[in-house]
Amino acid sequence: MDELDTIIDNDDCCAMNKRRSHHSPEVKKNLTNRLNRIEGQIRGIKGLIEKDTYCDDVITQLSATQSALNSVGKILLEGHLKGCVVDRLSEGDDEVLDELLVTIQKLMKK
CA 65 to chain centre: 13
Summarised one tens digit per residue, pLDDT across range 7-27 is: 444 444 444 447 777 788 999
CATH architecture of the domain with range 24-108: Up-down Bundle (1.20)
Domain coordinates of the chain in residue numbers?
24-108
Q: Select the more confidently predicted residue: 35 or 16.
A: 35
pLDDT of residue 21: 76
Summarised one tens digit per residue, pLDDT across range 44-103 is: 999 999 999 999 999 999 999 999 999 999 999 999 999 999 999 999 999 999 999 999
pTM: 0.76
pLDDT of residue 110: 58
Is the backbone of residue 30 left (phi > 0), alpha (psi -120 to 50) or beta?
alpha
